[in-house]
Structure 1
């Protein structure tokens, strides 16, 4: 190599050394690297981290040998005069392009020859290639563990806090014991141990698998919310019982009204087919009274469950009573609609000058007789009103043609 060629090569090598040093320092300061160094690892993560640590240690030793060779070349370059001799240029050429970097450690016995070297030497380029391979594999382990912890640790801590909140609720409820909470706690402890010591075992297809952790968080949230409802019922028992009583009173009133209207319909509407409205209010009141016994025994979970069931039953019963009321009222409303319609058509006939028309008078009388007679035959009354309407329209059409 010429002096200019050597200067150009050294300039490139200096830049390369700076970039290698920056990459090694970045790896050393990486959050995942620090976490791995401080963690008590197990399983596959422990094995991969041990291998990564060996590669990182090799990296630093290789970089040290690389640096020593480059420093030696720099010193020799400084000693060159304006007219460097061939021997000096050859020595610098050997350092920069020949096998000048001594690898750490001796060549394994099985790879030696009788008269061969004890230590292996590589060129600067080969050394960089070896460092790059070791760096990539070590960095992959660090990055994968860091990504796994980033995806898993925060939701894990949230799940653990949720479990503690739920456990506090159970403790506040005194006599309550919850086997599901204990089961979730055991599973969460096992999963937490796995996340903290072997995060790479939870990586699937290159991404952290949070499915089981998400299921645990959901189960704990449902359990915590349910126990919070139990606590609210315990603390606000009187107000809750009062609200349930009001709901049952509304059911009772709706059932009573539905019964009255049904009785009226059966009297006033002929052949009315109406199912009898079920009387559920009394049963609901007995269930409400039974809650007091659960409260006296501090059976809060049972009380909350029975109260929720009673609340749903009251809502359902109220809807059923109102449906029966609407069904019965619909028949009376239909009769009222027909009455209003026949009177409106009578007024129209008078306005058109047909008040004395014999046919219209007869049809009106028949319709009115059906509608104002109890029980009312709605089917015949509907037909009579329709016939009265057609007759008025026919008279109106004849008048227009005339």
Structure 2
């Protein structure tokens, strides 16, 4: 911008000059306070002290250039204001017109020299080598530089605030897990090494380039969360290995008890099946499982793993054996329920038949020949071994329907 036209403007009044100076002093104090606040900001100190890389390095480099420009503009702005204050202090009761014109130029004209020369391509033959701005234009330029630089500082600070805590928690989790591995002596876990490499890479990224982990204005902790979840699972697995190692005798005793329960349940299931086959005609009952011997063989194999200090494999095999024992117990109980269910069904039919006979007697049909015959047929089927449940069920139903029919006829009569 050139200074042409400034002399043609009407000078400001003395009162106008005083009012303008008061406003400019307030602006200068606010701008200085904002600049000092940036220097004291936690994010600014982190950025100036960190070895940055990637996107964060690029954006911080641009922000530093803006901050440097901001301070230089502030110095020029302050220098112009100080010049105006000094000139105003020298004015007498009747200031000279030229002094008022100079103050007017300083306060409202292009009086602030912009740092840096105008590029040659943008100059004219008689044009200035440097560009000048008004005080208001300088404030606008400083505000733009401040907003952009402060935005980078705030974004980096927010990113670090969101990422440092989960990073440090993940690193502490890795150290705890590594101590567990070390305590288990010969145990070496490939997954721990993989998670450690991933965590190291994430640590470098968080500390040197946090802005690369910002997605839609929020810190993306997805990778860190996955590492922490993996470490939690691994630590739980290793803690179980240590527990099995330290409490093996008690654990083996519990497995022994579980296998004993399986064997007892399988014996009960076999006995119930034999009884059902004897007492229920055509009972299609599969042979109950016999897993007790196999489970005991697997229990004995755990001792060899213990003697060779193969703790991880021992914990895995012990867990598998525990699950196998639980599953075998459920299968034995299912087989038992299947066999006893047939006998229970026969007992239910016997009970229903007795209840229907009592009802017939209560209604006065105890001597009815048809009902007596139907009752006898049903009772014969239910008390004959093996019992034909299908025919017995039909006979009880026939007896029930016959009672209802007799009852209906009595009511109509």
TM-score by length of 1: 0.95
2:175 paired residue number: 164
Distance across 2 between alignment mates of 1:265 and 1:342: 21
1:184 paired residue number: 195
Q: 2:49 aligned to 38, 41, 52, which one?
A: 38
1:118 CA displacement: 4.4
Structure 1 residue 338 corresponds to structure 2 residue 354? no
2:322 paired residue number: 311
1:259 paired residue number: 270
1:302 paired residue number: 313
The farther-off stretch of 256-265 and 354-363 is 354-363
1:89 CA displacement: 1.2
The farther-off stretch of 19-28 and 108-117 is 108-117
1:111 CA displacement: 5.1
Distance across 2 between alignment mates of 1:108 and 1:390: 112
The farther-off stretch of 199-208 and 237-246 is 199-208
2:6 paired residue number: none
1:379 paired residue number: 390
2:301 paired residue number: 290
Could you say what secondary structure the match of 1:104 adopts? strand
Distance across 2 between alignment mates of 1:171 and 1:199: 33
Q: 2:148 aligned to 129, 132, 137, which one?
A: 137
The farther-off stretch of 115-124 and 362-371 is 115-124
Distance across 1 between alignment mates of 2:168 and 2:236: 18
What root-mean-square deviation, in Å, do the aligned CA atoms of Structure 1 and Structure 2 show?
A: 1.7
Could you say what secondary structure the match of 1:375 adopts? coil
2:9 paired residue number: none
1:100 CA displacement: 1.2
1:117 CA displacement: 3.9
1:185 CA displacement: 0.8
1:43 CA displacement: 2.5
Q: 2:211 aligned to 190, 200, 221, which one?
A: 200
1:329 paired residue number: 340
- Give the number of equivalent residue pairs: 402
Q: 1:214 aligned to 202, 210, 225, which one?
A: 225
2:5 paired residue number: none
User: Alpha-carbon deviations, 1:32-62, whole Å to 9, x = none?
Assistant: 1111111122223223222212221221121
User: Alpha-carbon deviations, 1:272-317, whole Å to 9, x = none?
Assistant: 1111111111111111111111011110110111111111111111
User: Alpha-carbon deviations, 1:104-133, whole Å to 9, x = none?
Assistant: 344455655565544432211121122122
2:34 paired residue number: 23
1:52 paired residue number: 63
Distance across 1 between alignment mates of 2:202 and 2:375: 84
Gaps (5+ residues) in structure 1? none
